[in-house]
Structure 1
Amino acid sequence: MAELNEEITVETAKALTPEEKQRLEQQNSRLVSSHKASTLESGAKKHWDLFYKRNETRFFKDRHWTTREFTELLSEEGNDAARVLFEVGCGVGNFIFPLIGDKLNFKVFACDLSPRAIDMVKANILYDAEKITAFQCDITTENVYQHVTKESVDIVTLIFVLSAIHPNKFIPTLKIIYSLLKPGGLVLFRDYGLYDMAQIRFKAGHKISDNFYMRQDGTRCYYFSTEYIRTVFEQAEFEISVNTYIHRRTVNKKENIDVPRIFVQVKAMKPI
C-alpha cells in the first residue's frame, strides 16, 4: 500500500497526555551546557555541511505540496512577468526544482548556510544560471546584501529554516528578510510546531533552552507555537494573514507506519 499523507489545519496547540508531559519534564533534568550551546552556535555551518556530506540529496523529499499550500506561488492570470523569489535555506533544491519543473515564472535566488548544499544545487540538471542564482550565505548577517538587493523580492520562502537558527536571531533575521521584500511582498513560512513528535522524543541532555534542542548530529531545532511566531513576525513589522498549526499524518499500513507531525504555517506581508 502506498503512503497516505493527510494534513489538517488546527487553531490550538496539541493537548499533551500525562506521559508526554512527563517526557518533556524529564528533558529539564539535564540541559546542554552553556559552553556546548556556544560551540553549537559557532559551529552551525560546519554541522550543516557535514549533514549534506553524509546525506547528499537523499534526506529530504521534493516538496511538491508547496503550490497547494501556498497558492501565492502560482502565476497570476494575465500576468506573464517573472516574479522574484528568494528561498532562504534552500538545501539541495527540494523546493525550487519542483517549481522550475512546473514551469512557474520566477527569477530565483536561493541561499544556504552549507557550501556543500549549494554545490549540489548547482550540479542539478535543472539548474539554469539565467533563472537561478544560488549562493552560500548566513541569512542572520548582512552578507546577503552582496547577492540580493533591498526591496527587490516578491516572495521569500522560509521552509523549515528559522527553526535551525538561534532564537536570539529570529527577529533580526526577519528584519533582514523584511528589507529585501518589495512593499506588498510575502513571506511563506512552514516550520516545526510545538509538541511535535520529534520534540517529545528528545531525551535529557539535548535541550538547549525552551523549545530549542540539539540533535545527535549537532544541528539544532526550535519548535514554534503560533503565539510565539506571531510575536516574532509582528516585531519584525510584518502583517500576518495566516498563522496556524498543521497536523500531518503519514500512514503506510503495509509497513505498519503511522507518523504524526505538527507544523506551523504562516503567511505574512510587508505593508504597502
Structure 2
Amino acid sequence: MENIASSSQRVLSEDEQDKLKKQDQNLVSEFKSVKLEAEAKKNWDLFYKRNDTRFFRDRHWTTREFEELLGIEGKGKKILLEVGCGVGNFLFPLLEENEDLFIYGCDFSPRAVEFVKCDSRFNAERMSVFVSDITKDSLTDFVPEPVDVVSLIFVLSAIHPDKFLQALCSIALVLRPGGVLIFRDYGLYDMAQLRFGRGNKISDNFYVRQDGTRSYFFSVECLKQLVAEAGFDVASCHYVNRRTVNKKEGVDEPRVFVQGKFIRQ
C-alpha cells in the first residue's frame, strides 16, 4: 500500500469517465432524497446496530498525520473535540498516547455514543461524550470550555452538502481563536465514488449507499472555500493518494482522500 500527498486532482481514464457519466442517467428522486435526509440519524443508528464495534479499526495513524494530537506544538493540558466519535476508534488510542489530553466526543448516533460509554477503556475523568447533530445543535451547549483542537475525520461527507457550512460554523464557535481543525475525508474520484452505479447518485459528488447512509467526495477547491466562509485560515489542504493492492486477488485500486489543517481566525 502506497501513500502519496499531492496537490493535484486525480486524472480519470476514459473508462472511469464513462462510469461517472452513467451515474447521471438515473439520479435518486427528490422524494427519496428528502426521505434519506429525514432518516439520516436512524440509518446511522441501524449501521451501528448491525456492525456493533467491529466495523472500523482503531485509528493509530492520526498522530502520525497530525502532530497537534500529541501536544508537540505546546505543553500542558489540551482540550480536543472529536466530531463523529463513532464507537471510539479514534479517541481511545489517542488518550493512551497523550496523558495531558481531555477529549469531548459527539456523534449523530445514540447507539454509537452508548458503545463508547460502555467500553472498558472509558474514563469519565478524561473524556465526555454526547449525542449531537452539528447541523442543528450548538456545540457550546455541551462543551463548556474553549477547545484547542477539533477533529473532523470522515464525518462531513456523511452530511447533506447544503448543511456543510452550518456544520463548520458550529465547529468554529467552540474552537478558541488560533485553535486547529484537523480534517480528512473522501476525495474526488476516490475508488468508492467510481464504484457507485445508476440509482445511487443524489447530486454532484453526493451518493447513497445500500444501507441508506450517504457520502460526499470533496475537491480541495471546494473544501478551501467552505472553511474560509466558516472563519478558518488554511494552513494546509491537499489530496492524499493511496493504492490498495492485493496481488493474490488482482486488486490495484486508487484511493483518494482530502486532508487539511485549518486555523480558527
Q: TM-score range by the shorter chain?
A: over 0.9
Instruction: Within 5 Å, give how 1:16-31 maps onto structure 2.
Output: 16-31=12-27
> Letter of the aligned partner of 1:194 in structure 2?
L
Which of the residues 173, 178, 198 maps onto 1:179? 173
Which of the residues 193, 211, 218 maps onto 1:217? 211
- Tell me, yes or no, if the aligned pair for 2:140 and 2:173 is still in contact at 8 Å: no
C-alpha deviation, 1:78, in angstroms: 7.2
Does residue 251 (structure 1) correspond to residue 245 (structure 2)? The answer is yes
Matched residue, 2:70: 74
Matched residue, 1:136: 131
Does residue 111 (structure 1) correspond to residue 106 (structure 2)? The answer is yes
C-alpha deviation, 1:255, in angstroms: 5.3
> Letter of the aligned partner of 2:141 in structure 1?
Q
TM-score by length of 1: 0.94
Matched residue, 1:126: 121
- Partners of 1:125 and 1:217 in 2: how far apart? 29
RMSD over equivalenced CA pairs, Å: 1.4
- Tell me, yes or no, if the aligned pair for 1:75 and 1:104 is still in contact at 8 Å: no
Does residue 47 (structure 1) correspond to residue 43 (structure 2)? The answer is yes
> Letter of the aligned partner of 1:44 in structure 2?
A
Give the % identical residues. 53
CA shift digits 1:55-97 (9 cap, x unpaired): 1111111111101110111123772x21110000011111111
Number of residue pairs matched by the alignment: 265
CA shift digits 1:177-214 (9 cap, x unpaired): 11100010000000000000010110010100000000
Unpaired stretches in structure 1, ≥5 consecutive residues: none
Matched residue, 1:97: 92
- Tell me, yes or no, if the aligned pair for 1:100 and 1:126 is still in contact at 8 Å: no
- Partners of 2:66 and 2:26 in 1: how far apart? 40
C-alpha deviation, 1:256, in angstroms: 4.5
Distance 1:78 1:158, change over 3 A: closer
Matched residue, 1:267: 261
Distance 1:156 1:249, change over 3 A: same
- Tell me, yes or no, if the aligned pair for 2:108 and 2:133 is still in contact at 8 Å: yes
- Tell me, yes or no, if the aligned pair for 2:172 and 2:264 is still in contact at 8 Å: yes
Find runs of 4+ consecutive structure 1 residues off by over 4 angstroms: 254-257
- Partners of 1:207 and 1:255 in 2: how far apart? 28
Unpaired stretches in structure 2, ≥5 consecutive residues: none
- Tell me, yes or no, if the aligned pair for 1:249 and 1:259 is still in contact at 8 Å: yes
- Partners of 1:241 and 1:218 in 2: how far apart? 34
C-alpha deviation, 1:260, in angstroms: 2.5
Matched residue, 1:207: 201
